[in-house]
Amino acid sequence: MAKIQPLPAAPSAAAPPSSSSADEPWQVYTVWMKSLVFNGNGCTVYGADGGVAFRVDNYGCRGGREAFLMDRAGRTVVGIQRRSCFGMLRRWEVCRYSDKPESGCGGGGEETGTPWFAVRKARRGGGAAVTVHGGSGRMSSTTTTTAYAIVGGGCSRKPDYRILGGADGAAVAAVARKQTPSGVVLGDDVLTLTVAPGTDHLLMLGLVVVFGLMNRCL
């Protein structure tokens, strides 16, 4: 399995000011917008230890209608599908997968049901609007929802963006091109994802994958 050498901490645009306690560090991931599969599309997420934490292997065309986020063991943890009505109102729906060792795409468990969250492109200024539904189960008029927003680019020409959430709209995650400790900026397909303390890491990773699909980056 591929592994990268972790870099010492370096100042990065991907780490916005945090209102969290100073002794609660932001979690850092390295996102390589390439698949480990030859001639495949996708991305590979490396943890702080330099090992593969998650991956997306898309055997179809770039920006396909469906993708699966898998853990390092190859189990599907998140399923992503593009939905549209007569080519209009396009959105991406994301479902979580259970950890049951039963058959499922990618060797994961069973899909938990209705969408965990949905993403639509923002009408103005780029970015995207995110609606997170209250867990699995059928949605109803009383289903609690939580809103997030993706602000910024997302394409190779402008890969930096932030994910805002919570009642105050504070940054809960950020993505930027990876830098070495000496300040050298790596290629536009090597990114740093930083996630705020207390934030669902899988949700943030799912949003990064969806935003990459929306912008045909994987």
Q: Which of 44, 5, 11, 79 is nearest to 191 (CA)?
A: 44
pLDDT for res 185: 92
**Alpha-carbon gap, residue 207 to 164, rounded angstroms:** 11
pTM: 0.79
Q: Are 80 and 63 in contact (CB under 8 A)?
A: no
pLDDT for res 162: 95
Q: Are 170 and 2 in contact (CB under 8 A)?
A: no
pLDDT for res 204: 96
pLDDT 10s digit of each residue in the chain, 218 long?
444 544 544 444 455 544 444 568 899 999 999 888 877 788 999 999 999 999 998 766 665 688 899 999 999 999 999 887 665 567 899 999 876 554 444 445 566 667 899 998 877 767 888 988 754 434 444 445 678 999 987 565 678 999 999 778 899 999 999 998 898 999 888 999 999 999 999 999 999 999 988 888 87
Q: Where are the domains of the chain?
A: 27-113+174-214
pLDDT for res 87: 56
CATH topology of domain 27-113+174-214: Porin (2.40.160)
